[in-house]
Amino acid sequence: MIETARLAGFFAAHGVWCVSEGETLIPLLGYLHADGEYGMDRLMFDDYAEGARAGQDALADGDPSWVGAVLVADGYIHLDQGKTDALLIEAVQYGAYRQSLQLAVPYRPAQDPRGFAVHKPKFMNADCDDPEFDAMAEAFFVGAASHTEANAVWDAHLDETV
């Protein structure tokens, strides 16, 4: 699950980069092949929700060439502050024992008078052993840092108060 958590971090950072300029993120499906190469598909549909559903279906079905895959979609989560914009991330590691991870990266949209901000990721569901969780969380941040252009945007706009 460590490789898939790293994959999730990489594509979460890519999503942050996309929304930092004020655009709505077209759902994206990132995947990891056995040779270590990443791939990505943008899920462009007439209806945004239809694209997100197609991504969820793709995660559920998997592909024989994927070690892991991640869906990143623009949405909302409810925090103490109320309804908050967030990138919703679902990652799946395939194999004999399928594992999954769900998290959200809350953000303040660029159109807000205070400007764009990225908040601390909120890990929601992790289908793994508790001792592995810390390593998975660390791998997520390593993956985010490996997307150098996106990570620079994330770091420049980080607001850890939320």
Q: What pLDDT shows up at residue 54?
A: 94
Note if the pTM is more than 0.95: no
Has residue 135 got a pLDDT over 60?
yes
Q: Tell me what the mean pLDDT of segment 11-38 comes to.
A: 93
Q: What pLDDT shows up at residue 42?
A: 94
Q: Tell me what the mean pLDDT of segment 63-91 comes to.
A: 93
Q: What pLDDT shows up at residue 128?
A: 54
Element (H, E) at 18: helix 2-19
Please state, rounded to an integer, the average pLDDT across all residues of the chain. Answer: 90
Scanning the structure block, which residue is given the tokens 């997520």?
140
Contact 161, 120 (CB under 8 A): no
Q: Is 161 left (phi over 0), alpha (psi -120 to 50) or beta?
A: alpha
Q: Please report, for residues 34, 40, 80, 119, 152, the alpha-carbon distance to residue 72 in angstroms, rounded to integers and kept in the order given.
A: 21, 11, 23, 16, 19
